[in-house]
Structure 1
Amino acid sequence: MSYAAFTGWFIAVIICLSAILMQASRNGNDLWLSYWVDTTTEDSQASYSMSFYLAILCLFCIMNSFFTLVRAFSFAFGGLQAATKVHNRLLNKLINAPVQFFDQTPGGRILNRLSSDLYTIDDSLPFIMNILLANFVGLLGIAIILSYVQVFFLVLLLPFWYIYSRLQFFYRSTSRELRRLDSVSRSPIYTSFTETLDGSSTIRAFKSEDFFFTKFSDNLTLYQKTSYTETVASLWLSLRLQLLAAFIISFIALMAVVGSQGSLPVSFGTPGLVGLALSYAAPIVSLLGSFLTSFTETEKEMVSIERALQYMDIPQEEQAGSLYLNPDWPKQGVIEFQNVTLKYMPSLPPALCNLSFKIEGGKQVGIIGRTGAGKSSVLNSLFRLTPICAGSIRVDGMDIQNIPVRELRTHLAIVPQSPFLFEGLLRDNLDPFKMNDDSKIWDALEKCHVKEEVEVAGGLDILVKEGGMSFSVGQRQLLCLARALLRSSKVLCLDECTASVDIQTASLLQKTISSECKGMTVVTIAHRISTVINMDNILILDHGNLAEQGNPQILLKDVTSIFSSFVKASSL
């Protein structure tokens, strides 16, 4: 039903009607040919009657060709439309999914949905469904013709139908679960492969190549087991159906010979109808086998639709908002947290507990604390990556909860802790909306002390590899900082942007931020005390609570302050 909805109900009705009319025209052609055989004798043939019979046959052939073309084109169009809708809706749902979904879902599982499952929906599912529909209307046509010509054949098929139904029930229930196991066992291969690629340097450093190779081999072996079992099950069914078909065809041929001698009380009808019955009875079991195979394959392919529908029901970020922003918002850059409480999951303790503070516009503020203190949670709540449970966050007096989330993030700049570059030109990575000329881009690169590296690599038109692997982690952080500076936002958030650079470069960056970001509100999450020592203000968090705040120079002079103890500990 969902796949038919993706196809479009009008197209689905056209497909079914054209398939039924195609089979009806084919059966009508055979019935007319049988009638021609019975009504025409060698003694009485007129030229006009021959033309009449041929004209009717040509009419049936034209109708059959027309309905066949309609079915083929409508099925192709419906399959393409369904594939497009599934892809667009699935991608839209994933893009609008909250960050927690990606934290809890392995990347290999998502990649499996967007590769293997979508390929099935694009290519093999419409193909096998087309075969299923043709087999179904073919069986329907045979049943109607045999009922009209000779009921005796249907009576003979009753015991064989019981055997067939038992075979198909056993095979369908087995093959369906095997296909699910096949899809499930494929995801760990993607996950293991991507993890190994991302952590190749760490694996080599710890000399764990054998462990990861064995892990990947085990995942591949499990997948091969399910795939092999699925193939064996298909061969199991094929052998039994072929034996059944051979027995039934032999039996029907024997009964036709015996019946022609007149030794049976049941009449086989006219010669034309007998020939029609034999021609329709011969392929019925093979058609039943083809129908079962196509039905089972369609059921297995529908697992891909089922898996895609699962990801279409994932939670979505709240996009709506009643406030619309001016292009130059925020003007002052005042950030105010009012009794903010944040939980990543209802069962987990709060990451932020009734947190309140105010950052004045144009000030540079550092947020420090031990691991798990809630530093990154401040930025997560500011960018609405995770919805807050209570309280409010205001930027220039506007509650960000009432601002459309896309608009909010567009007006704020951030350099994340894990820098990322997209595959493509470096210019497009730094200025994706083409709002700055090359001189401004080079100026930003120079301010971030990465201009020389870019020039040596080939300039702004160099092709950045996937994930930015063309550059080191430190260089990627510097490029992300340059991208943030080009945004010209009044609020700049830095999530430990100097974590992967050496101390000398970190010192240069701090000077760059101090000199080039005057008038901007800069919020820096820091692990190095040296990065916040010269800032206007610092916030010290402890288990989601504001433990201390103030000017770092003043707090440093107070030997009883928490900041002073941090400085002493870092000096050790």
Structure 2
Amino acid sequence: CWACGLDQDFQELPDGIDTRVGNDGTALSGGQKNRISLARSVYSRRSLMVLDDVLAGLDTRTERLVFNRVLGPQGLLRKIGSAVVLATHAIGWLRYADTVLVIENGKLSYRGKPEDAPASFIRSHAGQPEYEAEDESDNTSPADIPMKTSRSSSVSSSITKRQANWQLYKSYFKSFGRFGFINFTFLIIGFSALQCVQQLVLKWWAGAEATSPSELGKWVGILGAITLIFVVDVFLTLWAGFIVYFPKSSLYLHLQQFTALVKVRYSAWGGKETGSITNRFSQDISIIDGQLANALLNVLAGIFDVIAMTSIIIVATPFIAATIPPLVAVFWIIQKIYLRTGKQLRIMDLEAKAPLCTHFLETVTGAATIKAFGWPKSYREKNDKLLEESQIPYYLLESVQNWLSLVLNLVVAGLATVTMAIVVKLRSTSDAGYVALALINIMDIGPILEMLVVAWTQLETSMGAIARMKEFMEDTPEEEQGKINPPSDWMTEGGITISRLEASYSDIAPSTIKDINLQIKPGQKIAICGRTGSGKSSLASAVFGLLHISSGHLKIDDVDVTQVSQELLRSKMIALPQDAYFTTGTVRENLSLRKTDTLQRKK
């Protein structure tokens, strides 16, 4: 770290060497990223190092300091005897190389000593400064550098807020549209009611002892009409759920979350983890599309099926009504135990996949570095370990679900045994048709109850996706939109006035730029200089409205940028950051950021 000039940066960072770098290193400047990457290479102490323009993005003083301490005649790499291949466009350092390779048009045009480099190559780079390694005035050593300790060694974690269930359900049902959920519920009620009516019609038909063709035709017609209505109701239920309401709900929730994402305040974005955000737009949306939709359908169908079956059982065998209260108590205890355990296991199952997703994204992003440092084996081992840990809650959940199935089947078997014992005792007064109907529903109610408890648990757990989505939308601060409407010719001159400006990358972070006073007249060309991490990019970001301004004023053409719409502010200027952004597509589309067909029409 001393060799790469990071000692001063550690003194300035809020938590020293333990400062969180943020998503993709957003808390670090471009030069700091390069020097940390170089320090990581030096720590490896490999006998061969290939460095691709590692001095880019450094100010002149820092570049000289880093070169002297790492690559110079007395640098660390010289001392440990490492062979170094340095790709660079800065010819000022070539004099310290043993051999120079000049590549032009993809071919090797020269190989030899620096002093014998071709004149054409020297002339093409004549405007670049010459560096002197012996000019280093820094005589400090690593032992002389005080290391700033972290203010907090613990990593804060995001804990999902507990929200009232009714609020979550209200938000979810609202996404179905006006009267959408009510219409869907009535379709499911019709589905359950028609099933019971079919059974009752069959019982009445059997009791009528119809033998004439007209009587048989009447009962066949009645049963056929009810069956046809039942089929239509099932079709309408599935069509309304999976074609209309569920996709509409998912799209509505996704757009709400995406709107919060694109409107997020940049100063609050740096601390967000890419894996967590990706999970919200992949896993959570998948849960809403699949698990939540299926769970809601199964819960509603299960509730109304159980009500209908219980009603038939009580009507068919009234003496069974005496067992309903204890059975309700037993089922309530069972679902309470399963719900408490199953819900936690499902949450653990969801959360256990987040580290795996984050590790995968980090691996994809840093594939080149991982290969260069020889880390593929350790990354594969870590991936296998995270994958195995992510499966543990799933297998535990399967075990708990098997326990639920066993217990419910035992309870239903006990109910059937009690019913048969009572029927045998009271066989002289029992209607055989109704007894058969009651036994059929008793045998059917077991799987329905199991499905209902499992679906209810899955629904409660899947609502966690809605809770996380609401938390993201509520806890993601939106950019402040000023109330001043500037004139239409605003920013035609481009004069900038900055007075006592203090700004930071987040509301709680220390100020990155402090007490800046500056006036830029229209038409002037201003160069902002300073060592890496000094605040050059931060000042430019503040002008573009990306930083949190805690005090002072930043005015463009006498209009405070915090008092106008941020969209309007950015539409009036162009900013080119250190890390260029490219969309997928052609060069033409990246040049214009418009669709190709639009450009072709304008030709």
TM norm. shorter chain > 0.5: yes
Cα distance in 1 for partners of 2:464, 2:352 equals 14
- 8 A Cα contact 1:26 1:60, kept in partner: no
Matches within 5 A, 1:5-20: 5-20=174-189
In the other structure, the counterpart of 2:472 is 311
Alignment of 1:310-329 (within 5 A): 310-313=471-474, 314-319=476-481, 321-323=483-485, 326=488
Paired residues of 2:270 and 2:505 also in contact (CA < 8 A): no
Aligned counterparts, 1:437-456, within 5 A: none
Structure with larger RCO (C-alpha < 8 A, sep 6+):
2
**Alignment map for 1:131-170 (pairs within 5 Å):** 131-170=298-337
Matches within 5 A, 1:504-543: none
- For 2:528, what is the secondary structure of its paired residue? strand
Q: Which AA in structure 2 matches 1:302? A: M
Q: Which residue is equivalent to 1:89? A: 256
What SS is found at the alignment partner of 1:417?
coil
In the other structure, the counterpart of 2:528 is 367
Partner of 1:271: 432
Indicate how the Cα distance of structure 1 residues 12 and 407 shifts in structure 2: closer, same or farther if over 3 A, else same. same
Counterpart CA distance in 1 for 2:267 and 2:356 is 23
Q: Please tell me the residue identity of whatever aligns with 1:428.
A: E
Rounded Cα–Cα distance in structure 1 between residues aligned with 2:373 and 2:301: 58
Q: Distance in 1 between matches of 2:402 and 2:202?
A: 38
- How far, CA to CA, are the matches of 1:173 and 1:432 in structure 2? 51
Residues 175/100 of structure 1: CA separation in 2 closer, same or farther (3 Å cut): farther
Q: Which of 558, 571, 576 is 1:415 aligned to?
A: 576
SS of 2:269's equivalent in the other structure is helix
Q: Single out whichever of 362-371 and 92-101 deviates more from structure 2.
A: 362-371
Match of residue 63 from structure 1:
229
1:331 shift after superposition = 2.5
Alignment-derived partner of residue 517 in structure 2: 356
Query: Does 1:201 pair with 2:368?
Result: yes
> Residue 338 of structure 1 aligns with which residue?
499
Which one of the candidate residues 537, 545, 564 is aligned to 1:403? Answer: 564
Contact 2:268 2:506 in 1 (8 A): no
Structure 2 length as normaliser, TM-score? Answer: 0.66
Post-superposition Cα deviations, 1:324-373, rounded to whole Å, max 9, x if no partner, equal 564x7532221111232223445443223332211122222122234443
CA distance in 1, matches of 2:492, 2:507: 36
CA contact (8 A) 2:482 2:562 kept: no
Local SS of the residue matching 1:333: coil
2:197 aligned partner, one-letter code: G
Tell me, in whole angstroms, the C-alpha distance in 2 between the residues paired with 1:9 and 1:244: 41
Task: State the Cα deviation string for residues 64-119 of structure 1 (Å, max 9, x = none).
Answer: 23333332222221101101101111111111112234311110111111111111
In structure 2, the residue corresponding to 1:388 is in which secondary structure? strand
Q: Deviations over 1:185-221 (max 9, x none)?
A: 2111121112122223333333334443343333222
Name 1:124's counterpart in structure 2. 291
- Unaligned 5+ segments in structure 1 are 442-572
* Cross-structure match for 2:344: 177
The residue number in structure 2 matching 1:382 is 543
1:23 and 2:185 are equivalent in the alignment: no
Decide which of 111, 118, 126 is 2:278's aligned counterpart. 111
2: distance between equivalents of 1:208 and 1:30? 66
Distance 1:14 1:338 in 2: 60
Give the superposition deviation at 1:432.
0.9
Q: Go from structure 1 to structure 2 and tell me whether the alpha carbon gap of 1:65 and 1:214 turns closer, same or farther (over 3 Å shift).
A: closer
Q: Are the equivalent residues in 2 in contact too, given 1:83–1:122 (CA < 8 A)? A: yes
Task: Tell me the equivalent position of 2:79.
Answer: none
* 1:475-519: CA deviation from partner (whole Å, max 9, x where unpaired): xxxxxxxxxxxxxxxxxxxxxxxxxxxxxxxxxxxxxxxxxxxxx
Structure 2 unaligned residues grouped into runs of 5+: 1-168
Q: Is the 8 A contact 2:265 2:546 kept in 1?
A: yes
Task: Report the aligned-residue RMSD.
Answer: 2.8
Of 187, 204, 220 in structure 2, the residue corresponding to residue 35 of structure 1 is 204
Give the aligned partner of residue 117 of structure 2: none
Q: Is the 8 A contact 2:267 2:548 kept in 1?
A: no
Post-superposition offset of 1:400: 2.0
For the 8 Å contact 1:341–1:353, the answer to whether it is kept is yes
Displacement after TM superposition at 1:160 (Å): 4.1
The alpha-carbon deviation at position 413 of structure 1 amounts to 1.4
TM-score (norm 1): 0.69
Counterparts of 2:382 and 2:267 in 1: how far apart (Å)?
27
**CA-to-aligned-CA distance 1:155-196 (integer Å, 9 cap, x gap):** 235444433322211111111111211221211112111212
Q: d(CA) in 1 for partners of 2:289 and 2:204?
A: 44
When residues 169 and 330 of structure 1 are mapped into structure 2, their CA distance, relative to the original with a 3 A threshold, is: same
Count of equivalent residues: 430
Residues 1-57 of structure 1, C-alpha deviation per residue, up to 9 Å, x if partnerless?
22111112411011111221232233233223323333x247xx5554444434433
Q: Matched residues in 2 for 1:395 and 1:37: separation?
A: 89
For 2:454, the equivalent position in structure 1 comes to 293
SS in 1 for 2:498: strand
Identity of aligned residues (%): 24
Change in 2 beyond 3 A, CA 1:226/1:282: closer
Distance 1:184 1:124 in 2: 16
The equivalent of 2:401 in structure 1 is: 234
- After superposition, what is the alpha-carbon deviation per residue over 1:518-560, rounded to whole angstroms, capped at 9, x for unaligned? xxxxxxxxxxxxxxxxxxxxxxxxxxxxxxxxxxxxxxxxxxx
